[in-house]
Every structure is written in structure tokens, then in C-alpha cells.
Amino acid sequence: MIAHEDRSGQALRECSVGAMSANMALMHLCLETPDRHVARHILDDAIARERGAGRDRLLEVRSLWRETPNAYELIQAIVQTEAADGGDGIARCAAGFDAAAKVSPIAGVALYSLGREDLLQQATAEVVDDLESQGLLEHDRCALEIGCGSGRFLAALAPKLLYVIGVDVSANMLGHALRRCASYRNVELMQGDGRRFPSLSRASFDLALAIDSFPYLVAAGEDVARSNLMEARRVLRPNGRLLIINYSYRGDDDRDRRDILRLAREIGFAVRRCGVRPFRLWDGAVFDLERTAP
Ligand SMILES: C[S@@+](CC[C@H](N)C(=O)[O-])C[C@H]1O[C@@H](n2cnc3c(N)ncnc32)[C@H](O)[C@@H]1O
């Protein structure tokens, strides 16, 4: 079997048993198959082989694709933006996300949204519900988002918090975030790479979020990930929480858990949740850290 058929087939098998959402399965199919007709063929074959609930789940993937006819081309276009070259890891990342923001500020921050605002909002709501269930959202609290992208979390959290600051390395992403958050006076945006937040005072935040941004920091080097963690600790109040959703894209959950446990111990965080996947629409792994006192 050709490698892409194997990888796409695996995603469709997971979807057919209810272990992966239809949008994630379609994302993998589009991402890992070199031609849209081949992708369509792989999906039709998988549907023909299934019966019962498994078949219904795969038919959902096909319906989603019919409703989102540009999904394949959009996902391929975003992947091309990751090929930006020149500069160090952070500069390449900034160039890549600047380009992705021009293609689609929706798919550019969450490929599994397939570029659809409705799916992006549903996935955002799942994370906000998780924060709420942890008792982290109160009207007197301040939050920092590291790698805020086009601002979907800033806009969702602004009505629930006192103040929200978003930092991102990509000027184009920040431009979209500015427009998305234009009606909120308690949202501030800053450009930066997270290695230092010089303008932010120590112990001034209750919550720090890094949603799908650490994989880029880790890819830029462990020193970059470490300095972001140290800065997050500096600006958090004692017992403040840092939620990292997805630590890396290395595909090794055990290694991510070990790295987080080690860095948390060295830098001064207690680990409350370590790599759990509580969401339905995407497979984000939650690392929930609490800043230890003093
Ligand atoms: C996949 S997007 C996620 C955006 C947002 N958190 C969301 O979920 O909608 C990752 C974001 O991290 C930003 N990013 C990557 N490396 C960064 C760094 N060193 N400092 C700040 N932002 C960074 C990118 O520019 C991009 O906007």
C-alpha cells in the first residue's frame, strides 16, 4: 500500500469507529493525499467497505466535503505556506503564518476548521467550555494568549474576563485579530516571539494560554520553548494557570509528557493535566500547569 493511502486510510478507520471527528478525518485525507481525485477515491472505497454506524460516519465526511468543496485546495495552499525559508526558526515561522493569514485566517490557525467559520467557532467553544469547567474564567481575571493568531480566543474570552492580551509573531495574523476584536475595549495585541515580554509586569496575569503555538516554539528549539515557559511563569500570579494545548507535532505523546514534566519541575509549575485530549472536534492535547508559589 502507498504511504499516503495508509495514512489517510488510518484517519478514515479512526473516524469510522468514532475515534476521530469527520472534519479531522477530512483534513487528514486532504493533507496526506497528493491529488484530490485520489483522495475522493480513497474515501469512496472506505465507504463501500463499511456498514452500519461506521458507514454513516464516513458518509458524514463525504457530506462535509460536498458542503466545503474548496477544502482540498485550501488545505494544500496552507501547507505550502509552511515552506517559507530564510532566517532562523522564528523568522521562518513568522513568514509562514504571514502567508497563511493571506490565504485564510481561519484555516491558517486551525486546519481542521477546513476554512469554515462555523467549525472554527464550535472548536473554540469546546476549549472555552473546558476553561469554564476548570473555574478559570471570572470577570475580575486577566489572561495572556501566546500565539493568538487571528484572535478567535481573544474574542471569545473578552466578554468573560477583565482583560486579555494577545501576543503573536505574525503581523498579518495580528491584523486579522485586530479586526476580529475591534468591538472589545479590553483586548490588547502585541507583536513578539514570546522569548521575552518586557512590557508585561511580573505576577500580573491569572491565566496564560498557548493554543497550538508551542509546536512552533518547540520546532524553533527547546531554548525558545523554555524561555516562553519562563516568561509565562514570570507574568503569572502564584497559582495562576498556563494551558498549553499541543506541545509539539513530533507525534510522540510520551516524549511530550516527559518534556513537560521535566520543564515544569525545573521552571516552577505543578502539572494538573498532562496530555489529555478532552475535545470532540479536534485532538488537541491539554497540558494544564499551575504556577507554584512564591
Ligand atoms: C496554529 S496558530 C494558532 C493560533 C491561535 N492560538 C488559535 O488557536 O487560533 C499558531 C500561532 O502561533 C504563532 N506563533 C508561532 N511562533 C510564535 C512565537 N515564537 N511567538 C509568538 N507567536 C508565535 C503563529 O504566528 C500563529 O499565529
List the chain domain ranges.
3-67, 117-291
pLDDT band at 82 (very low <50, low <70, confident <90, very high): confident
CA of 110 to the centre of ligand 1 (A): 10
Decide whether any atom of ligand 1 lies within 6 Å of the 109 Cβ: yes
How many angstroms is it from 120 CA to the middle of ligand 1? 15
86 pLDDT above the threshold of 70: no
**What average pLDDT is seen over the chain?**
95
Q: Residue 7: its pLDDT value, please?
A: 80
Digit-coded pLDDT (tens) for 97-118: 999 999 999 999 999 999 999 9
**Which residue's alpha carbon is at the smallest distance from atom 14 of ligand 1?**
147
Pocket flag, ligand 1, residue 68 (CB < 6 Å)? no
Cα distance between residue 210 and residue 244, in whole Å: 5
C-alpha cell belonging to residue 66: 460536498
Pocket of ligand 1 contains residue 115 by CB under 6 Å: no
Give 27-65 pLDDT, tens digit per residue. Answer: 999 999 989 999 999 999 999 999 999 999 999 999 999
Query: Considering the entire predicted model, what is its pTM?
Result: 0.95
The fold for domain 117-291 equals Rossmann fold (3.40.50)
Q: pLDDT at residue 1 above 60?
A: no
Lowest-pLDDT range, 4-8, 171-175, 198-202?
Answer: 4-8
Mutating to test ligand 1, I would choose from 173, 195, 213 the residue with most ligand atoms within 8 A of its C-beta, which is: 213
What tens digit of pLDDT does each residue of 210-251 get? 999 999 999 999 999 999 999 999 999 999 999 999 999 999
Q: Is the CB of 54 under 6 A from ligand 1?
A: no
Q: Give me the sign of the Cα torsion angle 278, 281, 284, 289.
A: negative
Closest-CA residue, ligand 1 atom 4, reads 149
Give 247 Cα–ligand 1 centroid separation in angstroms.
Answer: 12
Angle of the 71-81 helix axis to the 36-49 helix axis, nearest 10: 130
Q: Is the CB of 93 under 6 A from ligand 1?
A: yes
Cα(284)–Cα(294) distance, integer angstroms: 30
pLDDT digits (tens, 9 = 90+) for 251-289: 999 999 999 999 999 999 999 999 999 999 999 999 999
